[in-house]
């Protein structure tokens, strides 16, 4: 399955960017609007499931859509993904109950599971390597823009129109992206009949559902990682993944070809993004809580500290896009991922006297290192596998990235909550009755005596130091994995094959 000649590259790129930015923007807008939605639909008990259902659907269907795109065409599956995202937006926008909203978010998640990986694959079919390196290097950091615009756009829509339009605005935008892609992209289609590995797809879905339900239940039902329900789900997921391997060995068109896991680059990058997302994103995601309760920043100011990371990531990503076809990508990764180690170490030193400047510098350093990932990982995967497997290969690596982030958010969230609770409970005899529990779950209440506020802030900073120390360990592990990448310069497949033949002669 290949893109036919005659593509309008500018239209294809425009359509993909529209779809990607608005899919990402939807997440941040929805999170901003959620307090109003919860109040209107009386759904506080299901609050956490709104994000949980979306991430479950996105992660579960990502590799399946990637494989179907390899079988039946990237354009067809990308348009289907846009259609699902629009359909889910309509259900959400017309919701009169939390249950209906959750159904819509699930449908949206399925569509979103195809948008990012297929966009990268379509770019690979449309642009030559050097142009694609520069384009993909810029796309990763551009995905930060929705995080900056989301709170403002979401607040305006909720305040001046209605929260329903948080979702309904996706309809014209999605239709525009679909129309532009339909006009700009041509795809040559084979006429041969292709089989679908339904048994593998169903088993993969159940395995991922069992695995990802564990952190979702911990976040939303108050369970612990040692609870029988969570352990049961994790054991069930292992059994299902073992069954999946048996199924895939016999399948004519396996949903996840096992030969991908013989590909050194795919395996190393999958482990790398899993460890990195679990450790760094799991630790950094809770930082706004520190900024508000220890540094005394407003929620808006604490959220916009992420701009420092973006300020480092954007130029680094663009630079990597220029260098990756000239310098061995293992070298680029080794040099770049020293910086997240430095950043995490600096975060282990934070305390009650930490300044905004210190955090901005720390996030900027970390962002520079992360720019290497935004600027190269998708490109490396695409050029490391056969073209007919690029969709499922890219989806598989992004699946590990999503798994790492989902599990990391839950694990680090639980660890932080336990650390804060332990520190605050040590002060319970000095605090007003019932205050310790409130602080452990919701932050420092107003009206607390200044000397007690100072002691609580020290307890918070100790808890965060422990969290970032664990994150530092993950940063070291990720850095170690960089050394297992191939020491080769990224080049077109044809060039690589020709060079190999010359060396063999």
Residue 434 CB-half CA count within 13 A: 0
Q: Find residue 2's DSSP bridge partners.
A: 188
Interacting residues of 472 by C-beta distance below 8 A, sequence separation 6+: 341, 344, 345, 347, 348
Q: Which range has the worst mean pLDDT, 3-17, 160-174, 488-502?
A: 488-502
| Model confidence at 358: pLDDT above 80 | yes
Under the banding of pLDDT at 50, 70 and 90, the label for residue 145 is low
pLDDT in tens, 430-484: 666 666 666 655 566 666 777 777 777 888 888 888 889 999 999 999 999 999 9
- Over residues 16-42, the mean pLDDT reads 77
What CATH number does domain 260-505 carry, 3.40.50.1820, 3.40.50.170, 3.40.50.720, 1.20.1250.20? Answer: 1.20.1250.20
Please tell me the pTM assigned to this model: 0.79
| Model confidence at 34: pLDDT above 80 | no
What does CATH list as the number for 1-192? 1.20.1250.20
pLDDT in tens, 307-324: 788 788 888 888 887 888
Which spans in 127-161 are helix H?
129-142, 145-160
| Model confidence at 350: pLDDT above 80 | yes
| Model confidence at 69: pLDDT above 90 | no
410 sits in the region (left: phi over 0; alpha: psi -120 to 50; else beta) called: alpha
Quick count: other Cβ atoms within 10 Å of Cβ 478? Answer: 25
% of the chain beyond a pLDDT of 70: 84
Domains 1-192 and 260-505 in one fold:
yes
CA distance 382 to 331: 19
Interacting residues of 92 by C-beta distance below 8 A, sequence separation 6+: 100, 101, 104, 105, 108, 167
CA distance 71 to 392: 10
Domain boundaries, the chain: 1-192, 197-252, 260-505
pLDDT at 497: 45
Q: Which range has the worst mean pLDDT, 187-196, 211-220, 237-246, 384-393?
A: 187-196
CA distance 168 to 164: 6
Burial of 193 (0-12, 13-18, 19+ CB in 10 A): exposed
Higher pLDDT, residue 103 or 41: 103
% of the chain beyond a pLDDT of 90: 12
């Amino acid at each position: 399955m290949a893109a036919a000649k005659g593509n309008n590259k500018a239209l294809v790129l425009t359509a993909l960017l529209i779809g990607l930015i608005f899919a990402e923007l939807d997440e941040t807008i929805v999170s901003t609007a959620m307090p109003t939605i919860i109040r209107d639909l009386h759904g506080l008990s299901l609050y956490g499931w709104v994000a949980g259902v979306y991430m479950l659907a996105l992660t579960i269907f990502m590799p399946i859509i990637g494989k179907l795109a390899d079988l039946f065409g990237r354009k067809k599956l990308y348009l289907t993904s846009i259609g699902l995202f629009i359909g889910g937006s309509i259900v959400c926008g017309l919701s009169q109950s939390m249950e209906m909203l959750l159904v819509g978010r699930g449908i949206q998640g399925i569509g979103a599971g195809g948008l990012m990986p297929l966009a990268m694959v379509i770019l690979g079919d449309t642009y030559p390597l050097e142009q694609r390196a520069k384009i993909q290097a810029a796309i990763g950091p551009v995905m930060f823009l929705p995080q900056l615009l989301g709170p403002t756009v979401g607040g305006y829509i909720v305040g001046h129109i209605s929260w329903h339009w948080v979702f309904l605005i996706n309809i014209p935008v999605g239709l525009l992206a679909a129309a532009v892609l339909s006009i700009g992209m041509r795809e040559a289609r084979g006429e041969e009949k292709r089989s679908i590995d339904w048994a593998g797809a169903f088993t993969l879905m159940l395995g991922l559902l069992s695995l990802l339900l564990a952190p979702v239940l911990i976040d939303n039902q108050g369970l612990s990682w040692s609870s029988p329900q969570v352990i049961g789900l994790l054991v069930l997921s292992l059994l299902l993944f073992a069954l999946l391997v048996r199924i895939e060995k016999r399948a004519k068109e396996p949903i996840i070809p096992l030969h991908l896991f013989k590909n050194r680059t795919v395996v190393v990058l999958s482990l790398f993004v899993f460890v990195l997302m679990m450790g760094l994103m799991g630790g950094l995601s809770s930082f706004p809580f520190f900024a508000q309760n220890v540094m005394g920043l407003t929620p808006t100011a604490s959220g916009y500290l992420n701009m420092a990371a973006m300020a480092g990531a954007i130029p680094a990503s663009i630079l990597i896009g220029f260098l990756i076809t000239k310098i061995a990508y293992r070298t680029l990764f080794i040099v770049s991922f020293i910086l997240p180690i430095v950043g995490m170490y600096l975060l282990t030193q934070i305390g009650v006297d930490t300044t905004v400047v210190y955090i901005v510098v720390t996030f900027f350093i970390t962002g520079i290192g992360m720019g290497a990932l935004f600027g190269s990982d998708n490109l490396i995967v695409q050029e490391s596998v056969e073209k007919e497997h690029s969709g499922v290969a890219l989806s598989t690596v992004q699946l590990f990235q999503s798994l790492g982030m989902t599990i990391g958010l839950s694990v680090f969230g639980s660890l932080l909550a336990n650390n804060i609770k332990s520190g605050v409970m040590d002060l319970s005899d000095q605090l007003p009755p019932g205050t310790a529990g409130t602080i452990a779950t919701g932050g420092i209440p107003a009206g607390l005596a200044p000397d007690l506020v100072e002691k609580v802030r020290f307890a918070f900073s100790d808890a965060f130091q422990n969290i970032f120390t664990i994150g530092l360990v993950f940063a070291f592990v990720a850095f170690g994995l960089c050394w297992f990448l191939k020491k080769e310069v990224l080049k077109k497949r044809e060039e690589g094959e020709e060079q190999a033949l010359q060396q063999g002669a």
